[in-house]
Chain A
Amino acid sequence: MTSVAHATPGAHGGGAHHAPMSFWRKYIFSTDHKIIGIQFLFVSLFFLLVGGFLAMQIRWQLGFPGKPMPGGGILPESMVVNGVILPEYYIQLVTMHGTFMVFFAIMPLLVGVYANFLIPLKIGTHDMAFPRINMASFWLALLAGLIMLAGFFVPDGAPRAGWTMYAPLSARPDLSGVTIGQKLWCISIVALGLSSVMGSVNYITTIINHRAPGMTWFRMPLSVWALFITAILAVLALPVLQGAAIMLLFDQTIGTHFFDPIAGGQALLWQHLFWFFGHPEVYILILPAMGMVSDIIANGSRKPIFGYHSMVFAIVGIAFLGWLVWGHHMFMSGMNPTLGSTFMVSTLLIAVPSAIKVFNWLGTMWRGNLRFHVPMMNAIGFVSMFTIGGLSGIFMAATPVDIPLHDTQFIVAHIHYVLFGGSLFALFAAIPYWYPKMFGRMMDERIGKIHFWLTFITYNFTFFPMHIIGMGGQMRRIYDPTVYDFLKPQQPLNVLISISAFALFASQLLFAFNFLWSLKKGKRAPQNPWDDNGLEWSLPNPAPHGNWEQIPNVYRGPYEFSAPEAGNADFLPQYVKLPTDRDPAPAIAPAAGH
């Protein structure tokens, strides 16, 4: 580090204060933001695998309805008879696939892992503002996941009302056929919401109060900006879902009828509450991905992010508009059609900040000097696939076109282009990118490239044809499309989708192997393997507990790649002091104890 050591009043030294700890304190009941991030990583990758397994069974049934599923024999008769998936199990599969992927895989992978891991490292502080709340947030999330998983092992099995839990189906066991599983869903969601709020309060406070000297708002990397805005969304949105889930639980248990018109309730009330949470949630699932991809594309292009300020305003714009679009999930719900017009306009407008982001990523790559490392390949994959997901959303935003497409496989295609093509590709970029900072080793580059290409190809063969069968009218969540004469001609596409989905799943085993194998056998990481500018690369790999002995000063923005002052190098880290740089004023807020 070339920065002049700068005494920050009240700041602790980093590692010096940390006596050796027992295994339990260090790795299990840890309050270190990095360990908590890694704990989230392992747990949510496990739930990602669970969600994937459920998806494979869904695809078996849709591709080969009525045929015995390989390995289906090990499942109990309440789920599978003679190897054939039962309709009641099928609905459990779609419900739990959505629930696990949204709440226990993508959301914790993006927020739980990377908000925790990156925020203190990227803004230059020792740890989160509230490390114990942070630890509690992880354990609550794990508990919530286990409660959700328990649904498969109780009488009547897991919930059967879709991950959106539309009432009154979800509220009345006599209509859904599920008693315990449905309640477990509500309890788990309340716990998860609490975990998410605790985490978010931490992220917001840490970013506001604990930035290193010189780390002004507009010197923050876009990943930090995105995680900051995401935390604000989460802290406002999750309590709405929790409230709704508690009302639903009361409907199921103590005889209230919030959502059941049989005793004066309103079925649409659930939909309004759910989507008032649900649409900001969609942006919780994509903004951090956009932020991390921005960091990686600037790095891979060796250029500053094109239009940094408009990128920040686009994040804020998406987040703000995200509160005004929930009704676009309800165009067909019986909500007043005039309200539909309003929601259509706000929804179409959200295409504008999304377009700004895509064009700025392109602008960043323009006249760059592109390095195609695995994170960069996946980040480019993200841009190209998110573009399709964003554009396919326009079809459904236009209310008349939504009429034939609503609740068909078209929306399934759309959400997977955003959440797999978007969020997961961003994670396939982020995981190898910050892997050395987590574990001190590199993931294998060659396996990573093979994994990228296999995933990119099989992913498109899996999800693109869903647009077509959705146009053809195949409804969501139907157990057997061949029941309908008008759907029979497109059954070959369902077979193609299923085979591609199996190949896509198999390709992910490469990633799992690479991830686990590299923990012990990966190449030792140099200190700054990607020639990056972020503060985190001023630390050794893996970063020590407490991060810095002395908090670094920040002299410039995060994307000064190929800056003329850098001389021969094509990057200029935020923490490097050039002779012309002046030291920033010391931090006003003292770094918190940890």
Chain B
Amino acid sequence: MHWWFPTAASTFAGPIDGLFTAILIITGIAFVVVEVGLITFIVRYRARPGRKAFYTHGSTRAEVIWTAIPAVTMVALGLVSNHYWVIIKDRKSVPANAYHVGVHAKQFEWQVTYAGPDGKLGTADDFTVRNQLHIPVDQPIAVELSSEDVVHSFFVPAFRVKQDAVPGMHIVAWFQATKTGEFEIGCAELCGMGHYKMRARVFVHTPAEFNAWMAQQAAGGTE
């Protein structure tokens, strides 16, 4: 059985999982306060003969307290969240040294395009591989997302990466893998009958392995 997020294999996993835990603690406290309050009141104030309820229309002080505490908590949470959001998603946040790959989604596959020997995407020496994303570890990767037909969503659970691929739009999503190995890519947006099997794999290599794979593809795998 598995009770938490999948393996953490990117630099985003730390802050995202940490923020999740922080929210879990905050909401956990609120949850306990409310549910323990409910149960206590249910037991303590159950109807008994001869007893009458305490007649009151409320208390301004109580209202102020339980308006202010959630408001302050939410604003603080918003500020912290926004800090990480900007780092992860802002359009200007993609590191300058990121390695760019093109990911083109179509019903029901992922086409991954790599820059050829010239190091540039969108030139004649690019090559494309179906349903396999090969990347080097510890290096920022910028995925240039596009879609052939409908809205898909590029989802790598181990990296805490999700970004819709929208027809007519060019969207860049970046991340940096921290572990070598093989992970799964899924489609997170209903894209038709084959949505469930729009699965691909991401291979995180050491830099040496990655260069070897690139050389091999550039030599023989060019389409």
Pair from one complex: yes
Q: Spell out A's residues near B (CB within 8 Å).
A: 87-88, 91, 94, 160-162, 166, 168-169, 172, 175-177, 260-262, 265-268, 301-308, 310, 332-334, 336-338, 340-341, 344-345, 348-349, 351-352, 355-356, 358-360, 362-363, 365-372, 380, 383-384, 387-388, 391-392, 394-395, 398-401, 403-404, 406-408, 468, 471-473, 475-481, 483-486, 489-490, 492-493, 561-564, 570
Q: Which of B124-167 contact A (CB under 8 A)?
A: 149-151, 153, 155, 157-158, 160-164, 166-167
Question: Measuring CB to CB, which residues of chain B are less than 8 angstroms from any residue of chain A?
Answer: 1-7, 12, 15-16, 19-20, 23-24, 26-27, 30-31, 34-35, 37-38, 41-42, 45-48, 51-59, 62-63, 66-67, 70-71, 74-75, 77-78, 81-82, 84-86, 88-91, 107, 149-151, 153, 155, 157-158, 160-164, 166-169, 171, 183-184, 186-197, 199
Interface pair B167/A261, CB less than 8 Å apart: yes
Q: Is the interface of A mostly helix, strand, loop or mixed?
A: helix
Given contacts A266-B168, A384-B38, contact A304 B57 (CB under 8 A): yes
Q: Which residues of A contact B6 (CB under 8 A)?
A: 472-473, 486
When distances are taken between beta carbons in the complex, the residues of chain B under 8 Å from A479 are: 195-196
Q: How far is the CB of B195 from chain A (nearest CB, A)?
A: 6
Chain B neighbourhood of A168, CB < 8 A: 149-151, 167
Nearest-neighbor residue (CB-CB) of A310 within chain B: B63
Are A302's CB and B47's CB within 8 A?
yes
- For B149, give the chain A residue with the smallest CB separation: A175
Q: Which residues of B contact A473 (CB under 8 A)?
A: 5-6, 155, 157, 186
Q: Are A400 and B31 in contact (CB under 8 A)?
A: no
The answer to whether B194 and A87 have CB atoms under 8 Å apart is yes
Complex contact B162–A352 (CB within 8 A): no
Are A169's CB and B191's CB within 8 A? Answer: yes
Given A334-B163, A493-B1, output 15 extra A-B contacts at Cβ < 8 Å: A265-B168, A267-B169, A301-B53, A310-B67, A332-B163, A334-B169, A338-B90, A367-B45, A370-B41, A370-B46, A398-B77, A399-B89, A408-B188, A472-B6, A475-B186
A457 to chain B minimum Cβ distance, whole angstroms, is: 15
Cross-chain contact of A486 among B51, B161, B184 (Cβ < 8 A): B184
A547 to chain B, nearest CB (A): 29
Give min CB distance, A335 to chain B, whole Å: 9
Is there an interface contact between B19 and A304, defined as CB atoms closer than 8 Å?
A: no
* Shortest beta-carbon contacts, A-B, top 3: A261-B168, A473-B157, A367-B54
Chain B residues positioned under 8 Å from A94 (CB to CB): 190
- B197 cross-chain contacts in A, Cβ below 8 A: 480, 483
Q: Is the CB of A401 within 8 A of B81?
A: yes
Q: Report the separation of the CA atoms of residues A365 and B37 in the bound assembly, to the nearest whole angstrom.
A: 9
- The residue on B at minimum CB distance from A338 is B90
List 26 A–B pairs whose Cβ atoms lie within 8 Å, in order of A's numbering. A88-B193, A168-B150, A176-B192, A262-B167, A268-B166, A334-B169, A337-B89, A344-B82, A345-B78, A348-B77, A356-B66, A362-B37, A367-B56, A369-B51, A383-B34, A388-B31, A394-B77, A399-B82, A400-B88, A401-B23, A472-B5, A473-B157, A484-B184, A486-B183, A490-B2, A562-B52
Give Cα distance in the complex from A305 to B63, angstroms. 13
Which residue of A has the minimal Cβ distance to B157? Answer: A473
